[in-house]
């Protein structure tokens, strides 16, 4: 039987969603701080937070099309606004906004109806609750009660993803109490706490089930005391929350390479979208995720179940899973001048005898001799960046 941490690793690829009042501004999730929006003005945005009926449907469909198996939604971000019903903790939540309903409930229902595992991002840093700066222990009581609501009112969840401890490293966050609350109600929920850009991959509190690599490149996870997962998150452009003037998009090639880099070390890849103020995902974001989804579908055996292995091959990243090996290679196109002019194609040397192999993207057999094979280029009209060879042992 797999543990919940191993099952999380099998999810492989997730979608991060930054959505909240800041989405109305369209200047990223830090707009309040960076643009110095006065409190009354910013908190007044609740009156403008009109969210379309089908926002959760739209989101879950986008994730499914991309081949994501889980979604991590910002249930509360640094501005302190909750997408869930705080049940009286304050009135700064979605039910008291123009949306007039519990958006986390809609999100969870839609995920469950579509076989997507719901995860909750939750801020630790808070710009709304004054206790955060004046009475920290009181703030922690509020935080724990908030998390308790998330753990008890929405059925089984995939995990909690905290962020913002880096704002006050020296304070007593009462981590034992916070994580203990999650374990009490959701014993199999992943507990993740974003270490921030300066502490990539660092193991924090022992209760944490995964390390984070933020936008940094993943590497081997420190599993010296117990099995722990790793997760890298990435933005499509330069902001997590919707930023209407941000056109600095990464290429599909870069994002697929990030995904492969993650799986190479058994880490998950969490790719972000920032829906607009009404909850709709931008057409361009959807298009990018759909293209990634095509690659993921063509190589699906490798994306979810394959794990790093000790085998070292020349010119290939090696993984194992489902009783076979996978070799991931960079493949040129047949029209690449190097190839067209009879230049040498890369040879993969597995260093071991094998039975048979085929390409995952088109099912074609690969001729292997003495554990070696030549990377077949993509035919003209096709350029999928990376090819995965499935190797029977």
Residues that bind ligand GLC (CB under 6 A): 18, 29-30, 163, 194, 214, 233, 240
Q: Which is nearer to ligand GLC, 118 or 377 (CB)?
A: 118
Is residue 152 within 8 Å of residue 120, measured between CB atoms? no
* Shortest separation between residue 156's beta carbon and ligand GLC, angstroms: 24
Separate counts of helices (H) and strands (E) for the chain: 13, 16
Q: Kindly report the number of other CB atoms within 10 A of residue 312's CB atom.
A: 11
Q: Which is nearer to ligand GLC, 127 or 378 (CB)?
A: 127
Is residue 298 within 8 Å of residue 328, measured between CB atoms? no
* Shortest separation between residue 194's beta carbon and ligand GLC, angstroms: 5
* Shortest separation between residue 241's beta carbon and ligand GLC, angstroms: 7
CA–CA distances in Å: residue 328 to residues 128, 256, 267: 47, 12, 16
Q: Which is nearer to ligand GLC, 37 or 233 (CB)?
A: 233
* Shortest separation between residue 186's beta carbon and ligand GLC, angstroms: 22
CA–CA distances in Å: residue 164 to residues 95, 124, 169, 194, 229: 25, 5, 9, 7, 20
List, in sequence order, every beta strand (DSSP E) within 62-127.
70-76, 117-123
DSSP-H helix ranges across the chain: 4-11, 22-25, 31-34, 39-43, 55-66, 103-113, 131-134, 136-152, 175-185, 252-264, 283-298, 300-305, 337-340
Is residue 136 within 8 Å of residue 95, measured between CB atoms? no
* Shortest separation between residue 29's beta carbon and ligand GLC, angstroms: 5
Q: Which is nearer to ligand GLC, 241 or 293 (CB)?
A: 241
Q: Which is nearer to ligand GLC, 199 or 330 (CB)?
A: 199
Q: Which is nearer to ligand GLC, 243 or 292 (CB)?
A: 243
Q: Which is nearer to ligand GLC, 192 or 319 (CB)?
A: 192
Distance CA 322, CA 161 (A): 29
List, in sequence order, every beta strand (DSSP E) within 198-256.
210-212, 229-234
* Shortest separation between residue 18's beta carbon and ligand GLC, angstroms: 6
* Shortest separation between residue 192's beta carbon and ligand GLC, angstroms: 10
């Amino acid at each position: 039987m797999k543990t919940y941490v191993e099952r999380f690793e099998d999810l492989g690829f997730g979608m991060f969603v930054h959505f909240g009042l800041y989405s109305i501004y369209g200047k990223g999730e830090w707009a309040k701080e960076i643009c110095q929006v006065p409190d009354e003005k910013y908190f007044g945005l609740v009156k403008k937070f009109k969210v379309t009926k089908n926002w959760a449907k739209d989101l879950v469909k986008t994730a499914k099309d991309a081949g994501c198996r889980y979604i991590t939604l910002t249930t509360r971000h640094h501005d302190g606004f909750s997408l869930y019903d705080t049940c009286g903790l304050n009135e700064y939540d979605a039910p008291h906004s123009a949306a007039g309903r519990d958006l986390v409930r809609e999100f969870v229902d839609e995920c469950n109806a579509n076989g997507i595992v719901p995860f909750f991002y939750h801020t630790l840093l808070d710009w709304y609750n004054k206790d955060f700066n004046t009475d920290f222990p009181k703030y922690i009581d509020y935080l724990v009660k908030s998390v308790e609501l998330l753990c008890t009112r929405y059925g089984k969840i995939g995990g909690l993803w905290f962020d913002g401890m880096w704002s006050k490293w020296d304070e007593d966050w009462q981590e034992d109490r916070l994580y203990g609350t999650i374990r009490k109600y959701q014993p199999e929920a992943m507990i993740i706490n974003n270490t921030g850009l300066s502490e990539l991959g660092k193991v924090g509190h022992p209760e944490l089930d995964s390390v984070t690599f933020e936008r940094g490149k993943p590497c081997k996870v420190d599993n010296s005391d117990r099995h722990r997962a790793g997760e890298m998150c990435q933005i499509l452009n330069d902001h997590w929350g919707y930023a209407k003037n941000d056109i600095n998009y990464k290429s599909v090639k870069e994002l697929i390479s990030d995904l492969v880099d993650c799986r190479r070390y058994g880490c998950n890849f969490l790719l972000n979208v920032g829906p607009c103020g009404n909850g709709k995902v931008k057409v361009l974001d959807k298009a990018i995720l759909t293209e990634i989804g095509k690659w993921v579908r063509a190589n699906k055996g490798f994306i979810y179940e394959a794990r790093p292995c000790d085998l070292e091959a020349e010119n290939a990243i090696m993984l194992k899973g489902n009783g076979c090996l996978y070799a991931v290679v960079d493949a040129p196109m047949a029209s690449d001048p190097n190839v067209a002019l009879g230049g040498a194609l890369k040879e993969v040397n597995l260093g071991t005898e094998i039975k048979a192999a085929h390409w995952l993207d088109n099912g074609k057999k690969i001729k292997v001799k003495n554990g070696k094979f030549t990377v077949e280029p993509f035919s003209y009209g096709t350029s999928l960046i990376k090819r995965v060879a499935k190797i029977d042992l």
